[in-house]
Structure 1
Amino acid sequence: MGKGERIFITAKLTEYIKVGRNDLIEQYVFLTTSHDGYGSITAAFTPVRIVCQNTLNAAFRNQQNSIKIRHTASAVERLKQAHQLMGITSRLAEEMEQLYNHWAKIRIDDKQVRKLIEIAMSPGKETLLSIKEEKFHQLSSHYLNMVEDVYQYAQSAPSQQQDTTKGSLFGAYNAVTGYFQNVRKFANDEYKLKSIMYGTAMQRGQTAFELCEAFAKSGGSLFN
């Protein structure tokens, strides 16, 4: 990345997260570091839904999906942190499989999906207030067009028509994350990688994840 001062590596794990009968999510460990010796090594658990190459990064209930390893750490410290990372992947994979299978069984209608998208894609408090007060004329055309693109992806993408995603909460979550992976145009692949792994795409995906968690508990009343 950049002019070569930062590098990244992805390592594919052998196990899959399985949603429904055949919706498989591959598990990866993503590592990035710099050649200048100043930054730490970041190691993250990164699941990817095979059917649409959709990266499903999410932190669960204050449990992070990544750790930082200092360049100056001793070999013993690094081994401890590697063990910690594999523990994170094991716990998160188990939680993800249970949660996504649960979400795949929860129904959500089109109006609720659109409201979830509007909130998840909101860039700030002013936009959220306008949405709450239904003052859509105050919203930018850029934001409204983006919401429409995500909603169209939710309704029409082939990966959204499967038993696990069509009309389901799991599908609503995938609509937001899948938009950034498969629809949104980026200046180049480096910008796309940064956005998905630790930028805007990851933040919007995390918001969608938290909204889905809340919807699973309270149902449609969440958006009333």
Structure 2
Amino acid sequence: MPANVQTMAYYGEKPWHGLGKEVPKGVTAEEMIRAAGLNWEVELRPARGARKINRKGEFSRYEIVRVPRPGTKETEVLFGVVSRRYQPLQNIEAFGFFDLIVGERKAYFETAGALGEGERIWVMARMPDAMKIVSGDECFKYLLLSNTHSGEGSVIVKFTMVRVVCQNTLMLAMDDGQKAYRVRHSRQMQFKLNELADFLSITQEIFLKAEEQFRKMVKIQMTGTRLNDYLEAVYPRTDNQKKKGETPARWKHVHEVFENSDDLQLPGVCGTLWGAYNAITGFEDYKEPQQEELPDQRLDRIWFGSGADIKMKALFKATELANAWN
């Protein structure tokens, strides 16, 4: 598949990058795995030059190898080298953590796929009902799970939302300030992942609190210097820029999105803190200049990388300002 989004399946509207295999609503985890081309496993094998370190026959280092699927012409792929403490999470196990909510029709799979050669996989499940922040501006609620097979990074479950009118992704946070539920690839991983059922049980509460926060933002008009004050909090100027009175390029781009994007001119959105927050998320998703950025790189950036971090920071700062200006 082109653009290095290796494999993908989706329900509903075709993704912005135009890639993937369409599936009907309500597919099972097994069906989604097969449609997304994720029905493969990884193995741990002693790394070249590794030595046995104990009587259990354990080696000092291991290679993470993607195993070819039976009946295919695939070749093995080396994802990385890890210590003996590393514990892989197979794709079928990753999907299994959604069984609780998907099986009871509390959610359904919407997208799943692999980036690169499969070193990162993701599963995205949509919750029922949309948030209506103002009339004509709805947000779909999602849980996003990501797993890496490279030896770098954790198993991550995030709360996200997607604004219907423009498809920008909003990141949500839990009350304790964490950006996501994270579990390291260790021998204690299974125990930690067993707690995920309790984590999923609070999803509705998280989304209700987020909706309350967003409606507070709607009430705040960005009069005077408020927009620049907000941008200073999210994209702080350097001392040199302050001294020279320079306006950062990002500020200019966000101003343009805030003032000219059709979706941010909706009644109730236009001129508000909610509109300013969405101007930043829209800029990070679509406008942030990236030289020769491929679709998989953009997806990784806005869900897990620098774009996700900025959007989370924008949410924290907007919440603080909404409380201060209310």
Shared fold, TM over 0.5: yes
The answer on whether the counterparts of 2:172 and 2:315 sit within 8 Å (CA) in structure 1 is yes
Residue aligned with 2:219, SS: coil
2:180 paired with 1:66: yes
Residue aligned with 1:52, SS: coil
Identity %: 25
Structure 1 vs Structure 2 CA RMSD: 2.6
How has the CA–CA distance of structure 1 residues 134 and 90 changed in structure 2, closer, same or farther, with 3 Å as cutoff? farther
TM-score, length-normalised on structure 1?
0.80
CA deviation string 1:76-114 (max 9, x = no partner): 764431331341x22220111111112111111263213
Residue aligned with 1:10, SS: strand
How has the CA–CA distance of structure 1 residues 201 and 75 changed in structure 2, closer, same or farther, with 3 Å as cutoff? closer
Structure-2 separation of matches of 1:70 and 1:4? 18
Structure-1 separation of matches of 2:318 and 2:243? 21
* Match in the other structure for 1:11: 125
2:310 paired with 1:196: no
Higher RCO structure, 1 or 2 (CA under 8 Å, sep 6+): 1
2:191 paired with 1:82: no
Structure-2 separation of matches of 1:118 and 1:163? 26
The answer on whether the counterparts of 2:134 and 2:269 sit within 8 Å (CA) in structure 1 is no
* Match in the other structure for 1:112: 226
| Equivalent residue runs for 1:23-102 within 5 Å | 23-35=137-149, 40-69=154-183, 72=187, 78-87=193-202, 89-102=203-216
CA deviation string 1:43-92 (max 9, x = no partner): 111111111111111325434352124565687764431331341x2222
Residue aligned with 2:259, SS: helix
Structure-1 separation of matches of 2:204 and 2:171? 15
Structure-1 separation of matches of 2:119 and 2:271? 44
The answer on whether the counterparts of 1:7 and 1:33 sit within 8 Å (CA) in structure 2 is yes
Structure 1, unpaired ranges of 5+ = none
Q: Shift in Å at residue 218 of structure 1?
A: 2.6
Q: Which has the higher strand share?
A: 2
Structure-1 separation of matches of 2:255 and 2:201? 36
The answer on whether the counterparts of 1:19 and 1:97 sit within 8 Å (CA) in structure 2 is yes
Q: For the pair shown, which has the larger CA radius of gyration, 1 or 2? A: 2
CA deviation string 1:136-174 (max 9, x = no partner): 35x7xxxx2222111100100011101232011111111
Structure-2 separation of matches of 1:76 and 1:208? 33
Structure 2, unpaired ranges of 5+ = 1-114
TM-score, length-normalised on structure 2?
0.57
AA of the residue aligned to 1:195: R
Structure-2 separation of matches of 1:69 and 1:202? 18
Residue aligned with 1:163, SS: coil
* Match in the other structure for 1:145: 249
AA of the residue aligned to 1:169: L
Residue aligned with 2:116, SS: coil
Structure-2 separation of matches of 1:5 and 1:207? 27
AA of the residue aligned to 2:132: K
The answer on whether the counterparts of 1:67 and 1:85 sit within 8 Å (CA) in structure 2 is no
* Match in the other structure for 1:214: 320
The answer on whether the counterparts of 1:17 and 1:96 sit within 8 Å (CA) in structure 2 is no
Structure-2 separation of matches of 1:193 and 1:152? 23
Between Structure 1 and Structure 2, how many residues are aligned? 209
How has the CA–CA distance of structure 1 residues 164 and 199 changed in structure 2, closer, same or farther, with 3 Å as cutoff? farther
Out of 206-215 and 40-49, give the one that drifted further. 206-215
AA of the residue aligned to 1:109: T
Q: Shift in Å at residue 176 of structure 1?
A: 0.7
